Structure 1
Amino acid sequence: MTEYVHGYSEREALRLSEQAETLEKLLHHDTVYPPGAKVLEAGCGIGAQTVILAKNNPDAEITSIDISPESLEKARENTEKNGIKNVKFLQANIFSLPFEDSSFDHIFVCFVLEHLQSPEEALKSLKKVLKPGGTITVIEGDHGSCYFHPEGKKAIEAWNCLIRVQAYMKGNSLVGRQIYPLLQESGFEKIRVEPRMVYIDSSKPELVDGFILKTIIPMVEGVKEQSLKMQIIKEEEWEKGIEELHKTAEHGGTFCYTFFKGWGTK
């Protein structure tokens, strides 16, 4: 397990919620479980994805785990605020799960593998608690898939700080492209992976606001302190990069990013 690269601030909690709401249709529309299914959500964080997962599957029995007690408390608050009744929370380590083998019908993992030093070992650990014939769903982004216009030089440098800081912290922000081999090497079968692209221009103001301004730019800004401390970039160059990123949200700007959603069966 690595430290969460984006930190645990209130601003980050808000960013995660904005991201989940903005991407709900793109990422969650086909995550459907039958009534009575026992589902494990591994790495629930503050519950931003939990609320959507539970809302879309009201008759499933969901167990959501996270290693951070602070995040779990916020997750409980988020589900209570949204009237969610079919989730129970538990503090647990994904590498040493407190469940018997074959305890769950399905497993859901969203934006977790990028933060792990050993994602394959995490998937193998999860596979043990999955019933034979059960499924795993994995969703990850890939920061290397990002491109935008105007393509400011300093904006690219600021964006690459995000990738470099996460790599320094033993995470992998390029893990989206690796979902298929990771599931394969972890022993899952019937694997398939689909790209889920977000393309934004000024004709899509809800995405300009929800994704560029409230998700992407705050995510990059979240690694400013580490980037300066690591001397990856100078502060004046950083500020110029953030300024250039904002231009992608203005008239004539565009932004594109690809998520990957994968499935496997035990």
Structure 2
Amino acid sequence: MNPYDLNPRFKAQYDLNNQEFSISGIMRPQSIDELAPSIAVLKDSIEHVRGVLYVNIKRLTQMNNTAFQTFSRVLIDACRARTDLKFVIITSSVAGWMTKKFGRLSGLEPNIAVEQYDSAFYPGQSFLEEGGFIPILRTQTKMTWRHERTILPRHGMQSGIVMADICCGIGDFAVLVQKEFQPSRIVALDHSRSSLAYARSVAAAFYIRGIEYTYGDASEMLLDEGQFDLVTCRHSLQVFDKPELILKELFRICKPGGRVYITNEKNSHCLGEPRADSIQWTYNEVAKLWAYFKMDIELGPKSRRYLAEAGFEDIRVESFMVTNQDGDPQDFADVVAAWENVYAGEMAAKRGDPPAFIRRFRQGFQDHIFAALHPKGYAGWPIWAASGRKPL
């Protein structure tokens, strides 16, 4: 996502992951020239999108006729130039004028639909699993993708390869890879049928081809050995009590000379300022909580050892810090809020933690959110990316 601060009153941006162009703020230009940067973002979005472009105006509080007519003309012209493209304009029930005003466009062009926002509208909002964690997984991928798109070529990613994405979850990483690098084939495997159904729906909506979503157990995959140039497994080894079994399978399906790419975290290194002490205490406790359930959210720096013990050579390890400076700080805050709900809610309750502990545990997450949104604050979440080559 590349935000453009167009004016103190409004902002336009494009989210590649969700194929969503959004406008927020107060848009009351005195001349069309004031809209030039935002129109450029919209036109660039239209040029690169496939299938459906979502136009999100939920946070647009005011819009005069100059802005409405200018944006409407771009959308109508695009419909006539590209009959393969559909637009869905997302309005808010809070501002009733949106639906009425933009509803006129759907009467002019059949490829423009106007949807008032609610939980049934968009798959990322309506599809629920594990307490509704799916939408936040998309936000996490959006945040890490800014770094990984640069990192991946150093770990074997290139155009035309045959790739497997194991423990693919909701499938958004595979979609981004297909768009950016265009492998000849991607097999994306996960053990969750509902996540795979979601992934297939997103790929279909965005007209993505070349991804085969398949159900399977990562520790015993029904995939032939030695068939993939690159095998990826992101944020997944850390949730298994025996990650070496997963790595054994990743090694097996990788071609000799191919690479296996993994990402994992070290949550105790999450940081923030101000309120650093509270934040540090909570993330140290997150590591202990995961260990109680036989998971290792500290696995990131151990990646080199795991890859070496699995038989890989030419092992490459690097780390990056996802921060509140990567795009919209609210995205970072939303991710932390989701962590709080799961870790200080479901997991801590299941472990039987007392109320006093949970209150302090939650406070650290809330302080991390405070740091992320503070105008002078800094909040970070570290990720380790590593890969190894299967010997010839």
TM-score, normalised by the number of residues in structure 2: 0.61
Match of 1:244 in 2: 367
**1:20-78 alpha-carbon deviations (Å, 9 max, x no partner):** 11221212224244444211111000112222122222242000000111111111122
Residue type of the alignment partner of 2:265: G
Question: Could you tell me how far 1:13 is from its partner in structure 2?
Answer: 0.5
Give distance in 1, aligned partners of 2:361 and 2:385. 32
The change in CA–CA distance for 1:221 and 1:161 in structure 2 (over 3 A counts) is farther
Residue type of the alignment partner of 1:89: Y
The change in CA–CA distance for 1:137 and 1:229 in structure 2 (over 3 A counts) is closer
> Is 2:219–2:245's contact at 8 Å kept on the other side of the alignment?
yes
The change in CA–CA distance for 1:205 and 1:59 in structure 2 (over 3 A counts) is closer
Give distance in 2, aligned partners of 1:81 and 1:30. 28
> Is 1:61–1:86's contact at 8 Å kept on the other side of the alignment?
yes
What secondary structure is seen at the aligned counterpart in 2 of 1:257? strand
Give distance in 1, aligned partners of 2:318 and 2:326. 26
Match of 1:113 in 2: 237
Structure 1 stretches of 5 or more lacking a match?
Answer: 1-6
Residue type of the alignment partner of 2:253: V
Match of 1:162 in 2: 286
The change in CA–CA distance for 1:166 and 1:191 in structure 2 (over 3 A counts) is same
Match of 1:222 in 2: 342
1:18 is the counterpart of 2:142: no
Match of 1:71 in 2: 195
Match of 1:147 in 2: 271
Q: Percent identity?
A: 21
Give distance in 2, aligned partners of 1:39 and 1:227. 37
**1:163-220 alpha-carbon deviations (Å, 9 max, x no partner):** 23322222110011111111000000000101112344xxx37342222x12223223
Give distance in 2, aligned partners of 1:161 and 1:83. 43
Match of 1:133 in 2: 257
Match of 2:306 in 1: 182
> Is 2:263–2:383's contact at 8 Å kept on the other side of the alignment?
yes
Match of 1:3 in 2: none
1:172 is the counterpart of 2:296: yes
Q: What RMSD over aligned residues (CA atoms) do the two structures have, in Å?
A: 2.2
Q: Which of the numbers 248, 251, 257 marks the counterpart of 1:124?
A: 248
> Is 1:161–1:227's contact at 8 Å kept on the other side of the alignment?
no
Match of 1:265 in 2: 389
> Is 2:272–2:279's contact at 8 Å kept on the other side of the alignment?
no
Residue type of the alignment partner of 1:230: R
Question: Could you tell me how far 1:123 is from its partner in structure 2?
Answer: 0.8
Q: Which moved more, 1:133-142 or 1:221-230?
A: 221-230
Give distance in 2, aligned partners of 1:246 and 1:44. 28
Structure 2 stretches of 5 or more lacking a match?
Answer: 1-127
Give distance in 2, aligned partners of 1:46 and 1:258. 22
Residue type of the alignment partner of 1:17: R
TM-score, normalised by the number of residues in structure 1: 0.87
The change in CA–CA distance for 1:243 and 1:258 in structure 2 (over 3 A counts) is closer
Give distance in 1, aligned partners of 2:326 and 2:159. 37
The change in CA–CA distance for 1:236 and 1:261 in structure 2 (over 3 A counts) is closer
Q: Which has the larger radius of gyration?
A: 2
The change in CA–CA distance for 1:130 and 1:240 in structure 2 (over 3 A counts) is closer
The change in CA–CA distance for 1:198 and 1:216 in structure 2 (over 3 A counts) is same
Question: Could you tell me how far 1:253 is from its partner in structure 2?
Answer: 2.1
**1:111-153 alpha-carbon deviations (Å, 9 max, x no partner):** 1111111112211111111111111111122202212112365
Give distance in 1, aligned partners of 2:377 and 2:273. 5
The change in CA–CA distance for 1:105 and 1:265 in structure 2 (over 3 A counts) is same
The change in CA–CA distance for 1:257 and 1:122 in structure 2 (over 3 A counts) is same
Q: Which moved more, 1:246-255 or 1:112-121?
A: 246-255
Question: Could you tell me how far 1:233 is from its partner in structure 2?
Answer: 5.0
Match of 1:208 in 2: 329
Match of 2:169 in 1: 45
What secondary structure is seen at the aligned counterpart in 2 of 1:98? coil
